[in-house]
Amino acid sequence: MIPYSRDPHQIIPTSAVKIIGLGGAGTNMLERIALDGMEGTELLALNTDIRTLGSCLAGGKIQLGANLTKGLGTGGDPELGHQAVLEAEDPIRAAIKGRRIVFLCVGLGGGTGSGAAPIVTRIAREEGAFVVVFATMPFAFEGKRRRDQAETALNELAVLSNALVTFDNNRMGELVLAKQGIHEAFVAADHMICESIKAVIRLVVRPGLINVGLDDLMSALRTTRSRCLFGSGMAEGRDRAVKALRNALASPLLDQGTLLKDAQTVLVHLCGGENLTLFEIELLMQSLHKLVPEKAHILFGAAVDPAMGDALSLTLISALPEDSLAMAPRDSLSSAGDNDNPLLDPSQGFTPPSSVARIAAPAAAQALPAFVPAAEPEWPAQSSPSPVFEAVPETPAASPAAPELSAFRRSLAAAAATAAPTLFEDERPFAEPSIPAPSSLSGKPDLDTLTETVLPEDPAEKKPAVMIAEFVAVADDEDEEFENYLEAIPAVEVVKIVEAAETVEAQADEEPADADEEYHSYEAVADEGETITDPSSIDHQELESAGFGKLPPKRPAGIKPWSPVVGPKNYVPDLDDEPAPAPSPEPEAPKLRLGIKPAGPQSELSLDSTPRGRFEGENPNVFEGEDLDLPPFLRKKK
């Protein structure tokens, strides 16, 4: 069932993707997407207001209602927005023509957004595109009128669009620290939306080992009148699986995972470097299982991207009916406690190689690395529809890999009692021991189980990309990737910064700054008494030291695990002996990272491992840059 031939129909080139920002809020989101860099995709801004349109960075711009509003806005009147977009129907139609996927970013509640969004959606649908709408709902303080307008538009969009992702602005306040300005709050909100658009594109556009496609995305978002639950996390380092999950759950849209417990369908997408192990996936999924209900439908997808290097990114997408969200408990403290401890347990599985066999069949264990070299950063095979291994032999390392891979597959197949002579057997025996295979996986094999099979052509040349773990699927231009990474990192880091700031804030006795007021307006909306969200209560350091001390070092990024392999027998001990030191390109890595430290929360605060006596292992007692737990006698001598 593993289709090794890459069917061109299954690959959606990024050029077939159009991102449309509609209205003022939509243009802002688009701007954020443009700033964050999304290569390959076309951006189109639609607005009635010529001023905001003029300053927009998007590639394409269409003014709505040039005759009707004469370059002014709609003044919050959806009817005007409706008529304005009808005026510009033809240029919009022309711009959308031939696009496979259209993402529509819109802020509902205003005139242009609410009035025009349904029309634009309809046009896009008529042009045969798959339309995913990202809509933000207005703040509660904007009043009932706007809310009603937004609701009306949302109802129409729910019918018209293929998938509807809703963000509630009220929750956006949780993205930023109280003291940060309103500008930052909106930037964070736009960033969040941008991040989720990227994640969706990554999901849809790039086939993975275990593929999830549009169909899965749709079923994850299928609930009518729903709020999107979205979380994306990235981590690298020793317990990156857990960290990535934690980062993903830190998304305010997930509320530390508490909201997931009502989810019917959860889409989980993992993307890792070549050293992504099955056990990491297992570990992560085990932790995740504690958060989602048992009967929930988990759509699991995994992709290997050599450009991810040592990093692992996790994307969670789900939807909740709106009414259940309102009632969902918001005590994230309790959930944080739930998360932490269970996460620690499965790490034991990493330590002894023998436990490998306990968790999954050895064959399954080897199957995953077998895929690893198969992933590729580019799409050279697009031109060759024949079985992809024929395209490989120019790379010397790949040729031994190919027959061997087949040998593994055969052993897998034997286990599954199908001794078919086909080289490439069903991939599911590998997936099944650990992951409940979603029905859609087995149902649509051709789409789901695409395996990429071309090695990175030149490892030396690829090194930078290897270390720069990036979000975006298709790796065309390395520089652009790096920029992406730079942009993407803050999303993950925001939480950590918030935590760090929280702890400092707790000790610093400052009068709350004026910016608090803005924060409190959010707070007032999100019933302030009950919400006790204290991210600093999650003691990362403890978790780290307690849980994953024994984790073996991962295979360094950029090393081709297949190069030394001669035969399958040779390979088996190599895999079992995971901590075996392999030559590592690490020394080059730091240069490329430019001082960004995605791993290790607050590591920069622990003052270079000075002994701290009875306060050892506690959070640093920092006040005005000095750790109060250290003797002033020693501090001043330094």
Partner 1 sequence: MARRTKIHVGLEIGTSKTCMVVGEVKADSAVKILGIGETKSAGVRKGEIFDYSQARACLKDALAKAEDASDVEIGSVFLAVTGAHIRGINNRGTFRLPDGEPVVSPDHVEEARTIAREVHIPQDHVYLHPIIRNYWLDGFEQSTAPVGLYGKTVEADFHVVHGIGTRIQNSIKLVREMPLEVDDIVFSPIATAQMALDREHRQRGALVIDIGGGTTDYALYLGGAITASGCIPVGGDHITNDIHLVTGLPFSKAESLKVNEGDASADPLHSVGNAKLTDERGFAEVEVSRAVLNEVIRQRLEETLRLVKQRLPADSVEAIGAGIFLTGGTSLMRGFSELAFEIFGRDIYRPELPEISGIQANFKDPRYATSIGLIRYAQILETERAEPPGLIGKIGSLFWPFGR
Instruction: Write out the residues near partner 1 by the rule CB under 8 A.
Output: 178, 333, 505-507, 509, 511-512, 516-517, 519-520, 523, 528, 531-534, 537, 611-615, 618, 621, 623, 628-634, 636
Minimal distance, residue 476 CB to partner 1, in Å: 43
Minimal distance, residue 595 CB to partner 1, in Å: 30
Let me know how long the chain is.
Answer: 638
Residue 230: in which H helix or E strand, if any? strand 226-236
**Cross-strand bridge partners of residue 301:** 269
Smaller CB separation from partner 1, 332 or 434: 332
Minimal distance, residue 55 CB to partner 1, in Å: 34
Minimal distance, residue 195 CB to partner 1, in Å: 24
Within 10 A of 609 (CB to CB), how many other CB atoms are there?
Answer: 6
Within 10 A of 51 (CB to CB), how many other CB atoms are there?
Answer: 11
Q: Look at residue 209 and give its three-state secondary structure.
A: coil
In whole angstroms, give the CA distance from residue 401 to residue 408.
10
Smaller CB separation from partner 1, 72 or 513: 513
Smaller CB separation from partner 1, 516 or 576: 516
Minimal distance, residue 255 CB to partner 1, in Å: 13
Exposed, middle or buried: residue 419 (CB in 10 Å: 0-12, 13-18, 19+)?
exposed
Smaller CB separation from partner 1, 35 or 628: 628
Please choose, from the candidates 111, 170, 105, 118, the residue with its C-alpha nearest in 3D space to the C-alpha of residue 145: 111
Minimal distance, residue 532 CB to partner 1, in Å: 5
Smaller CB separation from partner 1, 337 or 342: 337
Minimal distance, residue 614 CB to partner 1, in Å: 5
Minimal distance, residue 631 CB to partner 1, in Å: 3
Measured between its terminal Cα atoms, the distance across the chain in Å is 66
Minimal distance, residue 260 CB to partner 1, in Å: 22
Amino acid type, 621: N
Q: Look at residue 432 and give its three-state secondary structure.
A: coil
Smaller CB separation from partner 1, 583 or 611: 611
Minimal distance, residue 620 CB to partner 1, in Å: 11
Smaller CB separation from partner 1, 268 or 630: 630
Helices (H) and strands (E) in the chain, counts: 26, 12
Exposed, middle or buried: residue 56 (CB in 10 Å: 0-12, 13-18, 19+)?
buried
Q: What is the CA radius of gyration of the chain?
A: 25
Smaller CB separation from partner 1, 446 or 502: 502
Residues 182, 187, 189: CA angle, nearest 5 degrees: 95
Minimal distance, residue 399 CB to partner 1, in Å: 60
Tokens representing 393 are 């032999």
Smaller CB separation from partner 1, 152 or 537: 537
What angle do helix axes 144-160 and 111-126 make, rounded to 10 degrees? 0
Smaller CB separation from partner 1, 518 or 578: 518
User: Do 115 and 23 touch, CB atoms closer than 8 A?
Assistant: no
Smaller CB separation from partner 1, 505 or 574: 505
DSSP type of residue 262:
G
Note the helical H segments in 228-273.
240-249
In whole angstroms, give the CA distance from residue 614 to residue 607.
16
Q: Look at residue 330 and give its three-state secondary structure.
A: coil
User: Do 596 and 486 touch, CB atoms closer than 8 A?
Assistant: yes
User: Do 462 and 18 touch, CB atoms closer than 8 A?
Assistant: no
